[in-house]
Structure 1
């Protein structure tokens, strides 16, 4: 999902990937009936998945000179509406040619083109959290198995660095016959067999 070499990501390609990943996540969001439902992320309810994606991305990318996000309301009041507006604003940012010249400077990720940062950190995060929200609310994740496999291979090559970042939990054991998305979930510290508690 992110860079494979030293060249900057093509903005139109990143915009297309963002649109596709967010379209699937939006489908899951629209299917949520209980925003207080527990999720595979310990201590998180369904609403917290949306809160996480919205807050960290707007905080990071909104700090870039030349980026201005509009108001989107309260996640707690209407998670689906907030997500829809946030997604639209991120897409508009990527479709604007001015984004080609924007640079993110961050203490954790250093200095890099904004488009690369979106491709490397945000789009994969939306992709992976799609499993969390879908699993929490009894929906199909809709994740492409080939992309799951590709992401896992890339992350395994950087495992030591990723673990050191503190952003991922302990890798969980999986059986040989689990799906590629379950393997990806296990790598980032989720219980790949997690299911909502019985009512």
Structure 2
């Protein structure tokens, strides 16, 4: 069964927003499983992605150059929640997941899957960096699994994914998805 992308984004947001809301200031310099970012950088990146993917849902130009310091504002947690709600609403708009969008002229559903992936995987990154539990909804993982496998070669060439991590055949589906992006869930096991 194919789920509406807005419903999947809403589900992913329901898992991510509490993690962001409850992130203490004293962990913002902590490393994350996403090697390019500490917690502050990860949250700035994720907020920037969420803001730009609202534009992509509306078939408008986006700007991923530079990442503003969203965390410089005292209400950054509340802003993240508001921007995430706007993201869900943007992808729920009629026609948002139809046709093509973005500079690479990709199918809109593929573009929506990209932000769903960021919202899910970066929420896991945040949870592991801050010692908290995270378990995404199985429907979100199922939606992302095939899409991530399909986009992985291009994402690796672009430096977005790392090399895949070998896991046992019986590894959980989300662990396998993380491994495809270059993350080793065993190195960042929940406390």
Q: TM-score range by the shorter chain?
A: 0.7 to 0.9
Matched, 1:75 2:71: yes
* TM-score (normalizing by structure 2): 0.73
CA contact (8 A) 2:32 2:126 kept: yes
2:43 to 44, 50, 56: 50
Instruction: Report the Cα offset of residue 166 of structure 1.
Output: 2.5
SS in structure 2 of the partner of residue 40 of structure 1: coil
What does the per-residue CA deviation read over 1:128-183, in whole Å, with 9 as the maximum and x for residues that have no partner?
21211111111111213564366334433454333223211111232455433222
1:28 to 19, 27, 37: 19
Instruction: Report the Cα offset of residue 67 of structure 1.
Output: 8.4
Call closer, same or farther: CA 1:15–1:112 in 2, change over 3 Å.
same
Alignment of 1:155-166 (within 5 A): 155-166=148-159
Gaps (5+ residues) in structure 2?
63-68
- Kindly name which structure, 1 or 2, has the bigger radius of gyration based on alpha carbons: 1
CA distance in 2, matches of 1:172, 1:104: 31
Instruction: Report the Cα offset of residue 51 of structure 1.
Output: 1.4
CA distance in 2, matches of 1:190, 1:14: 24
Q: 1:168 maps to which residue?
A: 161
CA distance in 1, matches of 2:92, 2:170: 40
2:113 to 112, 115, 120: 120
1:185 to 175, 178, 183: 178
* TM-score (normalizing by structure 1): 0.71
Gaps (5+ residues) in structure 1?
5-9
Structure 1 vs Structure 2 CA RMSD? 3.4
Q: 2:82 maps to which residue?
A: 85
Call closer, same or farther: CA 1:22–1:118 in 2, change over 3 Å.
farther
Report how many aligned residue pairs link the two structures.
179
